[in-house]
């Protein structure tokens, strides 16, 4: 019995000694080494391609607004015209005469008003001396009011006649390139003649395309931010890349239900007139605003669990990694864009996550040093 007691006591001693030894060895064990890097925004953002169409910002159809013989055409078909240029001249004799008649009537009515005013002053003096009746005095005042009303009527008719006369000189309402004329000099024009020609504004000009609502929200921050963030270039029909870069200036106010896309328009200066209305182009869409640049990490930094993504962010003060849930975006230059969860400059573990223990520090090794050592 005494022998069993001594054996048990000896066993307990060895167990306690082993625990202390293991504890000492554990405390002396160096923290596991992991490879880290700082999250940073990509210098080049991914380029998305879409089919786009070119549209004129202003497209004006020239139509006659009066009846008359076309006397003269003052432009070269297919040439550029400026706003205010006289394009067509219509025979104006009848309209000139209408203006002159109204001008004469207006002058006569003004003379009538002058006479009525003088007559009223004379009768007013006589009325005060009881020489004329009140009815005669009131009639003089009425004639003044009638003359004033007639002047207003004639002035309105004259303004309308002058406006109609101006239609005999058809001017370009906008600057742009004019089409072939559909009428020739000598023909009788009426308001139902139809389009005489049309003017397409070429500079600036729209490029129209559609992107998915998901991409709009995920990569460009939604409708309000896309004009600031998005950069647009186009590839022309012959494969040439236009050197101009444009911004989104108009986003549709609704989502296309059938395609779940949002239509938007980019405005190009089109200084070299490379873009023509009606043509199709390849749109290159990039998010390039540096203020809104999102951080990126290497794919090896991501940990997938239950259809969710995490990264291990290192506390640089304690060297203790903290798991952070993130929302990922697209891939650019071999790196994953992080939409939510981390910020640029935070230290992320990109290799060695299998060595991590809860609330235990690690030994960070900068990824640049790994590449230098050739490992």
Tokens for 104?
A: 């004469």
Report the distance separating Cα 221 and Cα 232, nearest Å. 16
pLDDT at residue 26 in the model: 41
pLDDT at residue 172 in the model: 97
Question: Poorest-confidence range of 13-17, 90-94, 288-292?
Answer: 13-17
Question: pLDDT at residue 22 above 90?
Answer: no
- Residue 361: pLDDT band (50, 70, 90) is very high
pLDDT at residue 332 in the model: 76
Let me know how long the chain is.
375
As a whole number, the mean pLDDT across the chain is 87
- Residue 183: pLDDT band (50, 70, 90) is very high
pLDDT at residue 128 in the model: 74
Least Cα distance to 279 among 51, 58, 50, 53 occurs for 53
Residue 306: count other Cβ atoms within 10 Å of its Cβ: 4
Helix axes 134-166, 93-128, angle to 10 degrees: 160
- Residue 66: pLDDT band (50, 70, 90) is very high
8-state DSSP, 29: S
Mean pLDDT of the 124-131 span: 74
Contact by Cβ (8 Å): 74, 89: yes
Question: pLDDT at residue 373 above 60?
Answer: no
3-state secondary structure of 14: helix
pLDDT at residue 46 in the model: 72
Report the distance separating Cα 29 and Cα 363, nearest Å. 12
Least Cα distance to 201 among 260, 268, 266, 249 occurs for 268
Question: pLDDT at residue 321 above 70?
Answer: yes
In the chain, what percentage of residues exceed pLDDT 90? Answer: 63
- Among 47-51, 155-159, 236-240, 271-275, top mean pLDDT goes to 155-159
Question: pLDDT at residue 6 above 50?
Answer: no
Contact by Cβ (8 Å): 150, 158: no
The side-by-side arrangement of strands in the sheet containing 230-235 is 230-235, 280-287, 47-56, 205-212, 261-268, 247-251
In this predicted model, what pLDDT tens digit does every residue of 324-355 receive, in sequence order?
999 887 777 788 888 889 999 999 999 998 88
- Residue 371: pLDDT band (50, 70, 90) is low
- Residue 225: pLDDT band (50, 70, 90) is confident
Mean pLDDT of the 170-187 span: 96
Mean pLDDT of the 173-177 span: 95
- Residue 198: pLDDT band (50, 70, 90) is very high
């Amino acid at each position: 019995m005494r022998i069993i007691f001594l054996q048990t006591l000896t066993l307990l001693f060895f167990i306690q000694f082993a625990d202390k030894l293991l504890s000492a060895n554990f405390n002396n064990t160096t923290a596991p080494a992991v490879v880290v890097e700082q999250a940073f925004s990509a210098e080049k953002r991914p380029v998305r391609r879409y089919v786009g169409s070119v549209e004129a910002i202003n497209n004006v159809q020239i139509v006659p607004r009066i009846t008359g013989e076309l006397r003269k055409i003052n432009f070269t078909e297919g040439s550029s015209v400026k706003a205010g240029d006289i394009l067509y001249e219509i025979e104006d004799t009848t309209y000139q005469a209408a203006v002159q008649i109204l001008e004469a009537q207006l002058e006569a009515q003004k003379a009538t008003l002058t006479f009525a005013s003088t007559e009223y002053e004379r009768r007013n003096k006589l009325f005060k001396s009881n020489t004329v009746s009140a009815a005669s005095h009131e009639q003089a005042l009425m004639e003044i009011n009638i003359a004033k009303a007639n002047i207003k009527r004639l002035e309105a008719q004259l303004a309308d006649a002058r406006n109609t006369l101006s239609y005999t000189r058809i001017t370009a309402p906008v600057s742009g390139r004019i089409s072939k004329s559909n009428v020739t000099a000598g023909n009788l024009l009426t308001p139902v003649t139809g389009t005489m020609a049309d003017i397409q504004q070429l500079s600036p000009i729209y490029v129209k395309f559609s992107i998915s609502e998901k991409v709009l929200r995920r990569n460009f921050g939604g409708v309000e931010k896309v004009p600031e963030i998005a950069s647009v270039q186009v590839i022309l029909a012959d494969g040439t890349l236009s050197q101009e870069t444009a911004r989104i200036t108009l986003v549709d106010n609704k989502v296309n239900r059938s395609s779940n896309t949002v239509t938007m328009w980019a405005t190009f200066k089109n200084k070299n007139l490379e873009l023509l209305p009606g043509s199709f182009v390849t749109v290159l869409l990039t998010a390039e605003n540096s203020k809104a640049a999102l951080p990126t990490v290497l794919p090896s930094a991501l940990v997938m669990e239950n259809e969710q993504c995490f990264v291990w962010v290192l506390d640089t003060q304690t060297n203790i990694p903290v798991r952070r849930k993130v929302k990922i975006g697209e891939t650019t230059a071999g790196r994953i864009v992080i939409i939510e969860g981390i910020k640029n400059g935070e230290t992320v573990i990109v290799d060695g996550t299998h060595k991590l223990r809860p609330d235990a520090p690690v030994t960070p090794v900068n990824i640049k040093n790994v590449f230098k050592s050739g490992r």
